[in-house]
Amino acid sequence: MALVLHGYRYSVYLRIVRLVLAEKGVGYERVEVNPFAPDVPASYRALHPFGRVPALVHDGFALYETGAITRYIDRAFAGPALQPTEPRALARMDQIIAVVDSYGYWPMVRQVFSHGVFRPLLGQPASAAEVERGLAASAPVLAALQPLVADGGLTLADLHLGAMMAYFTLAPDGAALLQRHRRLAAWWAEVSARPSFAATDPMKS
């Protein structure tokens, strides 16, 4: 079995796929691709015509888009099932992923984390105003997610949201905002303690 995962180390979407692979116990090779570089290799654009990350190649089968990749991994490999079979539980999983992608990613990751943590870490210009805008936009997202997170078994939704939350809570203001949502904070305390999160920490591996 040849499984190759292409992506940018710090991409939240790469981490989502890495979390799924870790939870499934699947080994893989990783190839670093920076989608923000001015010279994204033509060989990578042949895998992903839009030049974003991640992309997966499994025994010659190439796939891009995070949701497609994670569902494929869950179906193609042994290990714990990460998608419910009951229709309503599966719909809830899909709903959480859609909410996170549509409303959570930009304020939580690109504003709060990027300007509050990542840019300063790299010595790049950061905007306190962007952080504030991100916090304001994140508040209704967290409120909407709180009643949706489940107490049952781990699903793709937990890993999708978890990768975003891991970055968001690295910002002290993000962590403080999460604590206002007790059920969501309790969910995060449980999910973030899983070994897969330590194993895929982009700041360390």
Give pLDDT tens digits along the chain (205 positions): 699 999 999 999 999 999 999 999 999 999 999 998 888 999 999 999 999 999 999 999 999 999 999 999 999 999 999 999 999 999 999 999 999 999 999 999 999 999 999 999 999 999 999 999 999 999 999 999 999 997 779 999 999 999 999 999 999 999 999 999 999 999 999 999 999 999 999 988 7
CATH 1.10.645.10 at 87-194, yes or no = no
User: What are the structure tokens assigned to 15, written together?
Assistant: 């981490």
Whether the CA torsion 99, 105, 106, 108 is positive or negative: it is positive
Domain with CATH 3.40.30.10 in the chain: 3-76
- pLDDT, residue 203, reads 86
User: What's the rounded Cα separation, in Å, for the pair 75 and 86?
Assistant: 16
CATH of 3-76, one of 3.40.50.720, 3.40.50.620, 3.40.50.410, 3.40.30.10: 3.40.30.10
pLDDT at 1: 63
CB burial of residue 51 (10 Å; 0-12, 13-18, 19+)? middle
Instruction: For tokens 């670093």, name the residue.
Output: 32
Helix, strand, coil share (%) of the chain residues, nearest 5: 60, 10, 35
Which residue shows structure tokens 């105003």? 129
**pLDDT at site 204:** 86
Ranges in the chain annotated CATH 1.20.1050.10: 87-194
